[in-house]
Amino acid sequence: MIDSAASLRPVPAPAPPTGFASGAPVRACIGLGANLGDPVAQLRAALAAIARLPSTCIVSVSSIYRSAPVGYLDQPDFYNAVVALDTRLAPQALLDALLAIEQEGGRTREFRNAPRLIDLDLLLYGDQVVDLPHLTVPHPRLADRAFVLLPLAEIAPGCTIPGLGSPAGLALAVAGQAIERLGALEAR
């Protein structure tokens, strides 16, 4: 027999699957970097992999920027770019997915600031501040790096980095870092 009271009871919305944020997509920014192998090809391959992430769509892609290494100087120049995306992946799930793309790209970690085939950093996740054991957002070294601030200012000039301000404002403090803007990462 049909329990009419039960059939009228409102059905609760299903919980989002683990790893997915509920609600509207969040605008996140990812920093891409490479200085071994064929850096531009690796940036393009990583961009293609990011574009395939579930519940994620790419909003804009910066130019490629070339800069001299910092920290450990005896290594090739770095090629960097920043990608803005809208995602329903939660911050930790998004970082895990980025680290998996790094692994597929052959990333190894020998020492701090070591040369790398591909590096993917979660720079911003909307206006959220995230402080988890293996994830800090905004990225803790974002404000020190012209190779992050200039591409970020290019594609998200109006964004505010929580607690820090605008990318263009922060870029003034790192204006002494040698950096060159190259062509588009993505065919437009």
Catalytic positions are 107, 116, 119, 121
- Which residue, among 180, 186, 56, 42, has the nearest Cα to 119 in the 3D structure? 42
Beta carbon of residue 71, minimum distance to ligand ADP (angstroms, whole number): 9
If you write DSSP's letter for every residue of 38-62 in order, what string do you get? SHHHHHHHHHHHHHTSTTEEEEEEP
Residue 52 contact among Mg ion, ligand ADP, none, beta carbon within 5 to 8 Å by kind: none
Half-sphere exposure of 184 (CA within 13 A, CB side): 5
Strand duo 78-87 + 56-61: pairing: antiparallel
The answer to whether residue 154 forms part of the interface with ligand ADP (CB under 6 A) is no
Single out the residue of 122, 153, 159, 179 in contact with ligand ADP (rule: CB under 6 A). Answer: 122
Query: Using CA atoms, how far apart are residues 43 and 3, in angstroms rounded to an integer?
Result: 58
Q: Which stretch binds ligand ADP (CB under 6 A): 45-53, 131-139, 143-151, 163-171?
A: 131-139
Among 32, 93, 137, 156, binds ligand ADP (CB under 6 A): 137
Binding-site ranges for ligand ADP (CB under 6 A): 95, 109, 119, 121-122, 134-137, 139
